[in-house]
Amino acid sequence: MKLFSPFFFLLTVISSAEMVFETKLVEINAGPDVDVVTAEFPFEIKGEVSEIIEYDAPCSCLSARIEPLRADRSTQLRWEVGETGRVTSRFKMGNFKGTVDKAIVLKMKGREKPIQLVVRVTIPILFEIQPSTLMWELGGQAREQIFKIRVRHDRPLKILESSGTTENFPFEVRTIKEGWEYELRVTPKSTASPSMGMIRLKTDSELKRHQRHQVFVVVKKKRP
């Protein structure tokens, strides 16, 4: 056993050699009008030297930087034991709504599994439509069904425009409380043949990502 002790010691050091992050998940609740959020993942090198082979964010919405940069503004990829730094990510939210997870991937030398750093961003849904799809059975009764719309914001959102893509699904926008609550009532002309359509709504929101909305209406076979 004594003979193998140095071996076990060496094995322990190697297996613990890594870039140690304070956290690998950063959660951000973004405001409805925020376009860009940043998240930081501080780290420390423990065990032995760590070398980043590649770092990437597999989405054009997310960019990553390893900081601090070198004096010549290039990225430091080889990190000595005891050094500290941070991975900084910048998330452009575009049309996202709801909760989105985005990962930054660090591929490390001598380590098969990459390190994943996750940015979880929640962007509020201001114009809530329930459900997102209405369905009628093929050959079934062409009865009226309703989408319920509620504004989840600190100011009202009015519906400016509504349009349908298919004649088979005539609809009516009914105002329950102007700016706050609406109903979208749909009654298909026929359920005799399969059909699918969309109803598009446009609101007066000043925020682009909250202006356009769509719901689906379908006539389909009942699955056996």
Which residues contact other proteins (rule: CB under 8 A)?
A: 56-61, 92-96, 98-105, 114, 116, 118, 131-135, 138, 193-196, 198, 200, 212, 214, 216, 218-221, 223
Nearer to other proteins, 96 or 180 (CB): 96
Between 27 and 178, whose beta carbon lies closer to other proteins? 27
CB of 123 to other proteins, least distance (A): 11
- Tell me the closest approach of the beta carbon of residue 158 to other proteins, in angstroms: 20
Residue nearer to other proteins on the CB measure, 76 or 211: 211
Whole-number minimum distance, CB 115 to other proteins, in Å? 10
Nearer to other proteins, 76 or 122 (CB): 122
Separation of first and last alpha carbons in the chain: 66
CA dist 78 and 82 (Å) reads 12
Instruction: Classify residue 115 by its DSSP letter.
Output: E
Q: Which amino acid is at 165?
A: T
Give the span between the Cα atoms of 201 and 109, in whole angstroms. 51
Please give the full DSSP string across 193-213, using - where no structure is assigned.
S-EEEEEEEEE--SSGGGTEE
Q: Name the residue nearer to other proteins (CB basis): 101 or 204.
A: 101
**Torsion angle in degrees (nearest 10) through CA of 138, 141, 144, 148:** -50
Q: Is 50 helix (H, G, I), strand (E, B) or coil?
A: strand
Residue 66 CB, shortest distance to other proteins, in Å, is 16
Query: Minimum Å distance from CB 88 to other proteins?
Result: 17
Whole-number Å distance between alpha carbons of 179 and 188? 27
